[in-house]
Amino acid sequence: MTTPARVRFAPSPTGFFHIGGARTALFNWLYARHTGGQFILRIEDTDRKRFHPEALQDLLDGLRWLGLDWDEGPEVGGDYGPYLQSERLAMYQHWADWLIEQGHAYRCYCTADELAQMRDEQRATKQKIGYDRRCRYLTAEERAQKEAEGKSWVVRLAMPTDGVTTFHDAIRGDITFDNKEMQDAVLLKSDGWPTYHLAVVVDDHFMEISHVMRGNEWIATVPLRWQLYKALGWEPPIFVHLPLILKPDGKGKLSKRAVRSPDGELIPVFVHEYRERGYLPDAVVNFLTGIGWALDGETEIYDRETAIKAFSIRGIQASPGRFPADKLAWMNSVYIRKLSTDALLEALLPFLSTDLGVDEETLRQDARLRLLLPDVQERIKKLSDAAPWVEFLYADAITIENPKDLIPRKTTPEQTIAGLTRSAELLAGLETWDEASIEAGLRDLVGETGLKAGQIFSPIRTAITGKRVALPLFISLAALGQAASVERIRAAISQVPAADG
């Protein structure tokens, strides 16, 4: 039996929700769901200069779009709130005072100028750069004097100055840091706001977080945090540092810049862009699950339920994982093919509506569109790829950009014109307008004219769509309708260029 975990995703909303952050959120969510525990969303908004309310909204929208529902946090509440750090200041101040009383922290009165001067001196004398702890060793009288002068102060943690700090990471094992390398970090700033270090420890403790699962770039903050737990007399959570996500070529960390897949496609790094470009949330979740974790080392396509059942911390790899940009389009197309026609239509509507300039309700009711969807479904990798396949239905007339496209290889302009003319006649005379009748009729023409199937069909395809590559011909004609089809074929006849024209 696994104990239900309480895990948190604790982003600082300073910019658009990044796909790497989504992977962190997802692994926490999977673990919460696997253990029947809680997934908590906590907003770390203490860096007021960098906090953006729009970034918070983008984050909430992104998590919802991905289907990563949180059990506690903004908008849903919970028993351990508030879930915005900016609303928890009194708690941080209380514990900072407590640490001072216990002798684990101290007020530091150094001004920015003094600190700058200190660093200059350290540089000049080739000492290690860092706070020299001068306020840690002030006498009671010196302190009283600074207070009497009304000097402002920050609270710093009194770190051990020798020895080592060893902590355990569930993926990486024991990790040891030399205390000499560490600083008396600021816990509370002069404006009464906490730094990340204090806020995160207080919150993880009082929110009863069992596992801290987050990006590997945070590992260097653990020793300080470990000492803070010790000073507070609290039990630290289990640390689980997820493998770094590298760029597709393995050279460096995935950053805020879009990357290219091997076939040259630009792959976005912000979650909202995945939505806007027509990736499906289930596909993105499946894709992200595979960065640093694997179901069985073989199966790449699996649904959320399967991932939840199988997910384990033991299964998370320690080494950095390449961002598998080459798999995204393929995975998305697999998920697109799994959709029912109704679900596909609903997913496509916003994209088609924008691209075709037709309102969603008209498209929803359009039987012609529905007829073509199974064929569209097989050809698109993203929802945004659909419009070019069906735009011929919504054009008043077709412009054939390159009239030479009307003439198939090894066919003369005369043969092309003859084929189109006979096709128009035949199609105009059909009594039943459906895929089967159209196909039967046009195949008869093959025998009658002595032209090959492609020599007849390909000019018709170009005539009705303006393109050489389009959906299967008979169903396209069926969808377009008899009158429009015949009219477009007739219109194309006059555009067939003369030989070598």
* Residues assigned a catalytic role: 256
Cα separation, 229 vs 223, in Å, equals 10
Residues 6+ apart with CB under 8 A from 159: 179, 182, 183, 184, 185, 224, 227
**From 12, 216, 415, 458, residue interacting with ligand GLU (rule: CB under 6 A):** 12
Q: Choose the binding region for ligand GLU from 4-12, 28-36, 53-61, 291-299 (rule: CB under 6 A).
A: 4-12
Cα separation, 161 vs 174, in Å, equals 21
Give the 3-state secondary structure of residue 137: coil
Beta-carbon-side half-sphere exposure of residue 38 (alpha carbons within 13 Å)? 17
Judge contact between 455 and 420, C-beta under 8 A. Answer: no
Residues between 149 and 208 with contacts to ligand GLU, criterion CB under 6 A: 200
Mask: binding to ligand GLU, 366-385, rule CB under 6 A, as x and -?
A: --------------------
With respect to ligand GLU, which residue has the nearer C-beta, 7 or 400?
Answer: 7
Give the 3-state secondary structure of residue 498: coil
Cα separation, 61 vs 40, in Å, equals 16
Give the tokens for residue 190. 């002069």
Q: Choose the binding region for ligand GLU from 8-16, 112-120, 181-189, 359-367 (rule: CB under 6 A).
A: 8-16
Cα separation, 155 vs 184, in Å, equals 9
**From 19, 44, 270, 271, residue interacting with ligand GLU (rule: CB under 6 A):** 44
With respect to ligand GLU, which residue has the nearer C-beta, 214 or 467?
Answer: 214
What value, to the nearest 5°, has the Cα angle with vertex 400 and ends 396 and 404?
Answer: 160
φ, ψ of residue 189 in degrees (nearest 5): -85, 170
11 is a site residue for ligand GLU (CB under 6 A): yes
Q: How far is the CB of 51 from ligand GLU (least distance, A)?
A: 11
With respect to ligand GLU, which residue has the nearer C-beta, 218 or 234?
Answer: 218
Judge contact between 283 and 335, C-beta under 8 A. Answer: yes
**At 411, which amino acid appears?**
T
Q: How far is the CB of 200 from ligand GLU (least distance, A)?
A: 5
Residues facing 246 on adjacent strands: 253, 322
End-to-end CA distance of the chain: 77
Q: Choose the binding region for ligand GLU from 9-17, 276-284, 310-318, 330-338 (rule: CB under 6 A).
A: 9-17
Q: How far is the CB of 255 from ligand GLU (least distance, A)?
A: 15
Residues facing 241 on adjacent strands: 214
Q: How far is the CB of 10 from ligand GLU (least distance, A)?
A: 4
Cis previous bond, 408, omega within 30: no
**From 153, 218, 234, 330, residue interacting with ligand GLU (rule: CB under 6 A):** 218
With respect to ligand GLU, which residue has the nearer C-beta, 198 or 373?
Answer: 198
Give the 3-state secondary structure of residue 378: coil
**From 5, 6, 7, 10, residue interacting with ligand GLU (rule: CB under 6 A):** 10
Cα separation, 334 vs 255, in Å, equals 27
Which runs of E-coded beta strand occur in 224-319? 238-242, 245-246, 259-260, 266-267
Q: Choose the binding region for ligand GLU from 7-15, 283-291, 462-470, 480-488 (rule: CB under 6 A).
A: 7-15
**From 34, 214, 381, 461, residue interacting with ligand GLU (rule: CB under 6 A):** 214
The 10 Å Cβ neighbour count of residue 196 is 19
225 is a site residue for ligand GLU (CB under 6 A): no
Cα separation, 211 vs 229, in Å, equals 15
The 10 Å Cβ neighbour count of residue 431 is 6
Cα separation, 120 vs 486, in Å, equals 84
Binding site for ligand GLU (CB under 6 A): 10-12, 44, 200, 214, 218
